[in-house]
Structure 1
Amino acid sequence: MRKTFRHPHAFAALLLTLLAAHLGGCATSAAQPSQAEFDAVTPAIDTDHNSAQEHNSPLEEVVHEQYSDVWEKIQHANTIDVHDDAEVRKQRNFFDDKQKFMTQVAQRAEPFLYYIVSQLEARNMPLELALLPIVESGYNPLAQANGPAGLWQMIPSTGRNFGLTINAAYDGRKDALASTDAVLDYLQHLYNTLGKDWINAVAGYNSGELVIKAAIDRNKAKGKPTDFWSLNIPARQVQTVPKWLAFIQIIRSPNHYNLKVMPIANRPFLERLPAPNGVEIGQIASAAGLSKAEFKTYNPGFRQNIIPGKGKYKIALPIENIGQYQENQHQLAKAKHYDSQSYIVKSGDSLGSIAAKFDISVKELKQANNLTSDRIKIGQELTLLMPMGTEAEQHSASAKSNTNASSSKNTKEPTVKQTENFTVKASTYKVKSGDSLDKIARKNKVKLADLMKWNNLNAKSVIKPGQELKLSE
């Protein structure tokens, strides 16, 4: 079972503060969604990114310490002004008395909520944003819709554009801590771009930046205000917003809606450490004194039963298990029996031909990629787990060497134009296989927001090999 931190007086303190909380608006008898809709995971659509601000005054440190429960901090933030809106009331009515759901949300949020709130504090962003995963995924980091995934329900292009690694062995969108860092960058960008209005930012996160920007431009042209409530965006385009605002009111006064919120201790739960490449997850869990299921609860980003053999990854462990893990870490070398690499399916490939090419069995190939059938698609990325020190590894190294040699022959286009006396930085960049907007921005030392602006792109834009991007205005 998952280990938890508890403060025995936290819930009593929460009830006392709730008695003083104020909730705007009143309940209505509007038609409510079905139970099936309630039980379903609600996907979101994504869009953009940017900065972080820190604030740590002595006064703020005192305020920080007065809360034993993280929910209390969110409850007293009062950063977001919730209007008495019909759609918001409808959502409040729907979740009224849904105690089973609230209990499940709190249990899922427990390992991650402190981290999310602390990151919001460090960036001087509204703490109420920590409630978004409730309506996006029910705080389930494994939630998977048709495209969006994870706590925050990011789509792949947005995840990659904001620095997340997504491959056959690991999905950063399902890594609750890594995805939080990316999403907060994204929301900060939306806030900066969409009139410095946090509700506009959440609306842009839901419907897409361009939809909200167009509404803002229309209002500006008519001399009207550009806050969310003045944009009059149809509710069907921003379904996440009224749900999120409803939960802000619910968390501010849960007893008013016949709900109790399980306290979550206001202190760190998880700590991130470098992941040991090529080690089986079961071995890491055992070294830390956790079950495999517990380890996967804290590290849902890993898609396979082994840490990728190459690349830098992190694992999250409960702080109380760190000491035990460090004591047993020397034993993990025994588990390093496999190396991993990715393979892109080409025309004419089959599982049998791929397995034969790399001297592994079809069964191993299917297990490594969680495949239940033999069907694969051109362009699909597969993970290859191969015994280290075997012909397969040599084959891999040889293939990589050939690929690099071929790549060097084909990469004749210079990124820098030189003259006898000075060097001129390239003004354009040709997209290569594996590139993302974030990677291109870092490689060329430009801001991601600028790169997107210069090329009329947003976080959902898909770039393709051979595409040419501007690197300046």
Structure 2
Amino acid sequence: MPAAEPSLEDPGLANGMDEPAPHDPDGDRATNQDLWDRIRRGYALNLDQDNPRVSAQRDWYARHPQYFTRVTTRSERYLHFIVEEAEARDMPLELVLLPVVESAFDPFAYSHGRAAGPWQFIPSTGKYFGLDQTWWYDNRRDIVRSTRAALDYLQQLSERFDGDWLLALASYNAGGGTVSRARRRNEEAGLPTDFWNLDLPSETTAYVPKLLAVAQIVRTPERYGVTLHPIDDQPYFASVDVGGQIDLAQAASLAGISTEELYLLNPAFNRWATAPHGTTELLVPVSAADTFRERVADLSPEQRMRWLRYTIRPGDSLIAIARRHRTTPAVLRDINDLQGSTIVAGRTLLIPERAAANGRLAGQTDRAGGGRQRVDHRVASGETLWALARSYDVSVRELARWNDMSPGDPLRIGQTLAVWTEDGPAASRGAERRDEMIRKVRYSVRRGDSLYAIASRFNVSVSQIRDWNNGVKQRRYLQPGDRLTLYVDVRRAP
């Protein structure tokens, strides 16, 4: 699993994820602040060794206490569940802190190696552990499933190395084969085969010390000038079976929570609704679970999803209809029980529509005229004026002028921008923007790479890569080692 050196520029990690505060509508949660104590009591690794590699990582965190506080605050939704799972397996509780290293507890974290989710599974490893990725759902971002898969993986690695958790952690990052080969080389050279003496990739040599440093800080945060966000030792979320497909904006409204909160607890969903088949469970805050369960039970099938009845016209094709409505032919075939791609003019197709309500957008009439609708867009990590202007089909100068900015001004995470869009295609593109989750990825060019290959790998266009990286425009060819900045929609990425 990827883990770069600590840096405030790490994509999806130190640059953070702006989100609403954890949901507490009644303000009546207990004030027990002992989940951290519970974690400390479950420590089982040697944290007392004075190793310069650990010290270097620990010193970095100590120099950036706000980063550490932000990450531990973000962990509140997930950490109690992870602790429960690890304790049930009798695993060292230092391991529950691994998402700090992997993803900074950003469930939408996405790496240059296409690793996704809080535990940063790459596609192949995810599939090996049952974390399938579909058009509707990416199990690598599922809080419950990815946690259980990560702990399964760590247990397997520990058994492979006779209970040596440091070697297991190194293998989680670099692969078991890499660690085994490094040990074999040391054996043949008559050298020690413990983690500290192995010749491993530089990323891995920093990875294990990074976790140990985090565990040391959690053990005595005051010693390093760090403040841990207090977390109650009780479940944050509960699972509710919604009994079938449901629009996620509708679900959030029924639960009495924001759409952002629902997505942060259910980050695996790639679309505006749950899948038509498969999992029918949603995670919601414990305080909202009973109300949500009752309201979902009272829903009629028509209230779960909004459907467009589309009459097929002469010349239509399934792929053209799917593209027009931002879905896929496979989804239309599934919903309409079609065996192939043949459609007949005059017949009707059912097409799922997004709910009008959404946590990020609120339409307002443009009283100044011009037939435009106002959209309030909340800036997410990695977004730029250029990318937003393109998304909403407006000019950068217009977008800047509407918000009293100049085109070159930087954006702040959480900043709200006013966007005036025309009815029709532009407004539709704005609505599509709601289903994006952009993460900034720094990619190092490898031998044999081309712009086309990189664009295909991350599901972006060549022209976008050129626009994001001005230096690329000046050269015809890429060179190994070139650093590219990409803005990847993790819900569309492979």
**Which residue of structure 1 lines up, in the alignment, with residue 265 of structure 2?**
298
Alpha carbons of structure 1 residues 166 and 361: separation in structure 2 relative to 1, 3 Å: closer
Hey, what does 1:16 align to over in structure 2? none
Match of 1:198 among 158, 161, 165: 165
Q: Does 1:153 align with 2:126?
A: no
Once the two structures are TM-superposed, the CA of residue 190 in structure 1 deviates from its matched residue by: 0.7
Amino acid corresponding to residue 80 of structure 1 in structure 2? L
2:83 alignment partner in structure 1: 117
| Distance of aligned partners of 1:99 and 1:279 in 2 relative to their CA distance in 1, 3 Å threshold | same
Aligned with 1:90 (options 52, 56, 61): 56
The residue type equivalent to 2:9 in the other structure is: A
8 A contact 2:242–2:280 mirrored in 1: yes
**What residue identity is the alignment partner of 1:76?**
R
- Shift of residue 267 of structure 1? 1.0
Deviation (angstroms), 1:38 = 9.2
1:78 maps to which residue?
A: 43
Partner amino acid, structure 2, of 1:362? R
SS in structure 2 at match of 1:96: helix
Q: Which amino acid aligns with 1:356?
A: S
Using the TM superposition, give the Cα deviation of residue 34 of structure 1 relative to its aligned residue in structure 2, in angstroms. 5.6
Question: Which of 147, 165, 176 is the aligned partner of 1:209?
Answer: 176
| TM-score in terms of structure 2 length | 0.58
Kindly state the Cα deviation for residue 75 of structure 1 after the two structures are TM-superposed.
Answer: 2.2
Alignment of 1:54-453 (within 5 A): 68-82=33-47, 83-146=49-112, 147-221=114-188, 225-233=192-200, 235-332=202-299, 333-337=301-305, 356-357=317-318, 360-365=321-326, 368=327, 382=328, 385-386=331-332, 393-394=335-336, 396-399=337-340
Report the TM-score, using the length of structure 1 for normalisation: 0.60
Deviations 1:98-142 (A, max 9, x none): 232122112211011000011000001111001111011111101
Q: Which amino acid aligns with 1:207?
A: A
Q: Offset of 1:359 from its aligned partner?
A: 7.2
CA gap of 1:285–1:39, structure 2 versus 1, over 3 A, is closer
Q: CA offset at residue 355 of structure 1?
A: 7.9
SS at match of 2:317: helix
In structure 2, distance between residues paired with 1:272 and 1:250? 32
Matches of 1:126 and 1:40 in 2, distance apart? 24
C-alpha contact (below 8 Å) 1:298/1:316 kept by paired residues: yes
- Superposed, which structure 2 residues align to 1:32-47 within 5 Å? 35-37=8-10, 40=13
C-alpha RMSD of the superposition: 3.1
Measured in 1, the distance between the counterparts of 2:136 and 2:11 equals: 31
Letter matched to residue 244 of structure 1: L
CA contact (8 A) 1:169 1:383 kept: no
Distance 1:126 1:132 in 2: 11
Structure 1: stretches of 5+ with no match in the other structure: 1-31, 43-66, 340-353, 369-381, 402-473
2: distance between equivalents of 1:234 and 1:290? 44
Name the % identity: 33
Any conservation in 1 of the 2:80–2:235 contact (CA below 8 Å)? Answer: yes
CA distance in 1, matches of 2:316, 2:226: 54
AA matched with 1:103: T
**Structure 2 CA distance, aligned partners of 1:134 and 1:122?**
21
Structure 2: 5+ residue runs without aligned partners?
A: 16-31, 308-314, 343-494
Q: Note closer, same or farther for the CA distance 1:77–1:400 as it changes in structure 2 (3 Å cut).
A: farther
C-alpha separation in 2, matches of 1:392 and 1:211? 43
- The answer as to whether partners of 2:7 and 2:14 remain within 8 angstroms in 1 is no
Q: Contact between 2:167 and 2:179, CA under 8 Å: does it hold in 1?
A: yes
Task: Give the match's secondary structure for 2:139.
Answer: coil
Inter-partner Cα distance in structure 2 for 1:211 and 1:361: 44
Query: Deviation of residue 307 (structure 1)?
Result: 0.6
CA contact (8 A) 2:102 2:120 kept: yes
8 Å Cα contact 1:114/1:269 also seen in 2: yes
Code of the aligned partner of 1:227? D
Is the partner of 1:268 in helix, strand or coil?
A: coil
Letter in 1 for 2:80: Y
Seen in structure 2, the aligned counterparts of structure 1 residues 79 and 98 have a Cα distance that, compared at 3 Å, is: same
Write the distance in 2 (CA, Å) between the matches of 1:214 and 1:121: 31
Name which of structure 1's ranges 33-42 and 163-172 shifts more when overlaid on structure 2. 33-42
8 Å CA contact 1:159, 1:173 repeated in 2: yes
Q: 1:195 to 1:40 in 2, by over 3 A?
A: same
CA offsets 1:415-451 (integer angstroms, 9 cap, x no match): xxxxxxxxxxxxxxxxxxxxxxxxxxxxxxxxxxxxx
Q: Which of structures 1 and 2 has the larger relative contact order (alpha carbons within 8 angstroms, sep 6+)?
A: 1
- CA–CA distance in structure 1, aligned partners of residues 263 and 194 of structure 2: 41
- What SS is found at the alignment partner of 2:260? helix
Q: How many residues are treated as equivalent by the alignment?
A: 314
The 1:41/1:277 distance shift into structure 2, 3 A limit, reads farther
Amino acid at match of 2:338: A
